[in-house]
């Protein structure tokens, strides 16, 4: 396609024509996709968008790594909506998460964003391909009979093109049958709250994270994506030095893992958040705790070293 | 179910959303009418059609009125979405109908690239010379010096010759007609639908509300008479100088050829890759 706006447009068109479809980009291209991303939310189109985050804003340090699009992934398109975003920390996890992403997109009829970063996007690692028969694939929920494709149930079944049902798909506010109604307040309210609630009420099912050393800790460190790798190194080293630190690694970024964040932060004296940005997710974490959240931010295109994280923790306790 | 007066073409329409929302005198209804007649005369099953539209009054011609699978997309992006549809369903007739602002302004890039690819879409660009829906802002096809709501002292840009542009970009079929030329337009729609590659008709249409009134034409009829007067057949135009053609609208078929189509090419590549 000629540009990233067109790429996501073609993806959405292909989905309504019966395909499973995805696109991949980095930074500027992800900015260009924002309007059609909202269209996918509004029309409840299952699709997958990979954004290999690079240093920005604008052209920034092209091809250098960052985690600067975390909030853009959540809020980049206009209007009220929910988003699913996943952030893998290895090549193997990237492979596995692609399958989860397609499954979640079909299950929730929502776009799913893979928030990769330039570090994970560039590394080469050994991976193990699972036996294809062992992979769980969630098929598209297609309407039997003449169910409404845009309402009725919290996650309505789809009607694709070519089913001889003259389905009407629009990014304008629409009734459960798909017909446009932009002037009735209740129609908009019902539609947008349902699209919001279907993700919000699925939190327990969608959200994935990993806990390490959280049986017994004084301090907590939270990270995700590439940053989780040196964080793990720092945690092991700090514990060896007798500093009791626990580690929470987010795999799902959005919807935000607020329950586990709240309960672990409540037990910590202080919370540390290394990120390759100026503190985007530490801001979100702070909303769920009254403990001090220390942002260990690093920008410039290179991930934190173990020593940098260790040093930041030691000098703050 | 509302009862509707019986007409042979109502079967192509979503009668429960009628009457339509077009202003009195709008050309949108004429285009819808001609297209339904084309379907009837060509005996095309509406289930074989997928309509993809952008944003603006012209995009409302099929959406919601035409009773077919419909994808009403974002402003300017109909052709991009339609590309995905056509790749998945190459046997369907994928039709794009949208305005001049949509297809030649914000979406101009997709238009020329789709023509270059020669993907088998049928595109009707409804050129009412203006951003009609939003209240008459200047568009890429607004004539030079015309006063619009955003050019109160006159347009200082020259308009696109959009049909010529699409032909140069590589489309298989390009014509220009207007809502005055209903029979020629109907014939051209049939030809466009029969093409395997990218087919494109620039349909000049009247917008009395946001354009006609501003340029001294009080209603739709005035604009139709203007189309009649200023149109000149493409053969005749060949013998005239560009100065003589300045105020004219050249109508007719600009190009009709058969180059390789994009999804056919994709299929060949897929087969080769599969071994
Ligand atoms: C990205 C974006 N910009 C602007 C708009 C507002 N908008 C709605 S219709 C329209 C103009 C449409 O003009 P045209 O394509 O010529 O269609 P017409 O109404 O004249 O048929 C605009 C600018 C929008 N919906 N999206
Ligand atoms: Mg227009």
Last residue of one domain, picked from the residues A206, A226, A249: A206
Q: Do A16 and B17 touch (CB under 8 A)?
A: no
In a shared domain, residues A165 and A217: no
Pick from A166, A167, A175 the residue to mutate for testing the B interface (most B CBs within 10 Å): A166
In a shared domain, residues A180 and A195: yes
Residue of B nearest to A35 (CA): B74
pTM above 0.95, yes or no: yes
- Please report, for the domain that includes residue A272, its CATH number: 3.40.50.920
Q: Does A142 touch chain B (CB under 8 A)?
A: no
In a shared domain, residues A100 and A130: yes
What tens digit of pLDDT does each residue of A116-171 get? 999 999 999 999 999 999 999 999 999 988 899 999 999 999 999 999 999 999 99
* Cβ of B56 below 6 Å from ligand 1: yes
In a shared domain, residues A138 and A269: no
How high is the pLDDT of residue A146? Answer: 80
In a shared domain, residues A96 and A219: no
Report all structural domains of chain B as residue ranges with CATH numbers, in order of start.
21-233+245-267 (3.40.50.970)
Helix/strand/coil (H/E/C) assignment for every residue in chain B: CCCCCCCCCHHHECHHHCCCCCCCCCCHHHHHHHHHHHHHHHCCCHHHEEEEECCCHHHHCCCCCECCEEEECCCCCHHHHHHHHHHHCCCCEEEEEEEHHHHHHHCHHHHHHHHHHCCCEEEEEEECCEECCCCCEECCCCCCCCCECCECCCCCCCCCCHHHHHHHHCCCEEEEEECCCHHHHHHHHHHHHCCCCCEEEEEECCCCCCCHHHHCCCCHHHHHHHHHHHEEEHHHHCCCCCCCCCCCEEEEEEEECCCCCHHHHHHHHHHHHHC
What is this model's ipTM?
0.96
For A223, the domain range is: 209-314
Last residue of one domain, picked from the residues A206, A236, A263: A206
In a shared domain, residues A52 and A190: yes
Q: Is the pLDDT of residue A78 over 90?
A: yes
In a shared domain, residues A101 and A220: no
In a shared domain, residues A190 and A284: no
In a shared domain, residues A190 and A60: yes
In a shared domain, residues A128 and A106: yes
The residue-averaged pLDDT of A21-32 equals: 98
Q: Does A213 touch chain B (CB under 8 A)?
A: no
- Gap from CA of A5 to ligand 1 centroid (Å): 17
- Please report, for the domain that includes residue A56, its CATH number: 3.40.50.970
Last residue of one domain, picked from the residues A179, A206, A233: A206
In a shared domain, residues A249 and A191: no
Q: How many domains does chain A have?
A: 2
* Cα(B128)–Cα(B103) distance, integer angstroms: 12
In a shared domain, residues A67 and A183: yes
Q: Do A169 and B88 touch (CB under 8 A)?
A: no
Closest C-alpha among B86, B30, B88, B72 to residue B198 = B86
What tens digit of pLDDT does each residue of A100-113 get? 999 999 999 999 99
CA-nearest residue, atom 1 of ligand 1? B75
What tens digit of pLDDT does each residue of B122-178 get? 999 999 999 999 999 999 999 999 999 999 999 999 999 999 999 999 999 999 999
Tokens of residue B171, six digits? 């489309």
């Amino acid at each position: 396609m000629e540009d990233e706006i067109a790429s996501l447009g073609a993806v959405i068109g292909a989905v309504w024509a019966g395909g499973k479809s995805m696109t991949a980009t980095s930074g500027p291209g992800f900015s260009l996709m924002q309007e059609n991303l909202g269209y996918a939310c509004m029309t409840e189109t299952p699709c997958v968008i990979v954004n290999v985050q690079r240093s920005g804003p604008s052209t920034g340090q092209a091809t250098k790594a960052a985690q600067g699009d975390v909030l853009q992934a959540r809020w980049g398109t206009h209007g009220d909506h929910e988003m699913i975003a996943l952030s893998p920390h290895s090549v193997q996890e990237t492979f596995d998460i692609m399958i989860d992403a397609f499954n979640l997109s079909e299950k929730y009829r929502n776009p799913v964003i893979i928030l990769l970063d330039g570090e994970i996007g560039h590394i080469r690692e050994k991976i193990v391909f699972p036996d294809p028969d062992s992979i769980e694939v969630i098929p598209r929920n297609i309407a039997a009979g003449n169910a409404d494709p845009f309402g009725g149930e919290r996650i309505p079944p789809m009607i694709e093109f070519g089913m001889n049902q003259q389905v009407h798909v629009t990014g304008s506010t629409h009734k459960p049958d798909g017909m446009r109604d932009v002037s009735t307040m209740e129609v908009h309210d019902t539609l947008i709250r349902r699209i919001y609630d279907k993700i919000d009420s699925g939190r327990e099912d969608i959200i994935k994270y990993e806990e390490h050393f959280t049986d017994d800790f004084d301090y907590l460190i939270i990270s995700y994506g590439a940053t989780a790798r040196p964080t793990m190194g720092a945690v092991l080293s700090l514990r060896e030095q007798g500093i009791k630190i626990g580690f929470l690694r987010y795999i799902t970024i959005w919807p935000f893992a607020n329950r586990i964040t709240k309960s672990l932060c409540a037990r910590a004296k202080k919370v540390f958040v290394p990120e390759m940005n100026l503190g985007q997710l530490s801001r979100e974490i702070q909303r769920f705790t009254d403990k001090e959240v220390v942002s260990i931010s690093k920008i410039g295109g290179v991930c934190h070293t173990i020593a940098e994280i260790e040093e930041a923790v030691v000098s703050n306790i | 179910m509302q009862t509707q007066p019986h007409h042979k073409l109502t079967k192509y329409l979503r009668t429960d959303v009628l009457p339509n929302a077009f202003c009195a005198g709008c050309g949108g209804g004429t285009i819808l009418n001609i297209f339904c007649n084309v379907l009837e005369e060509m005996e095309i099953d509406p289930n074989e059609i997928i309509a993809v539209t952008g944003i603006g009054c012209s995009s409302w011609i099929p959406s919601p009125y035409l009773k077919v699978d419909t994808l009403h997309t974002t402003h300017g992006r109909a052709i991009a979405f339609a590309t995905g549809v056509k790749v998945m369903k190459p046997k369907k007739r994928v039709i794009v109908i949208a305005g001049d602002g949509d297809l030649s302004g914000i979406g101009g890039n997709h238009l020329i690239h789709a023509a270059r690819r020669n993907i088998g879409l049928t595109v009707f660009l409804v050129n009412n010379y203006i951003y009609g829906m939003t209240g008459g802002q200047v568009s890429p096809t607004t004539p030079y010096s015309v006063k619009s709501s955003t050019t109160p002292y006159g347009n200082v840009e020259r308009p696109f010759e959009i049909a010529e542009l699409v032909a140069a970009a590589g489309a298989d079929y390009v014509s220009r007609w207007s809502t005055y030329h209903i029979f020629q337009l109907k014939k051209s729609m049939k030809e466009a639908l029969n093409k395997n590659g990218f087919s494109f008709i620039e349909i000049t249409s009247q917008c009395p509300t946001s354009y006609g009134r501003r340029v001294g034409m009080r209603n739709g009829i005035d604009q139709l008479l203007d189309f009649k007067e200023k149109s000149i057949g493409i053969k005749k135009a060949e013998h005239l100088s560009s100065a003589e053609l300045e105020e004219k609208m050249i109508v007719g078929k600009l190009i009709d050829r058969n180059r390789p189509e994009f999804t056919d090419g994709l299929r060949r590549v897929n087969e080769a890759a599969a071994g």
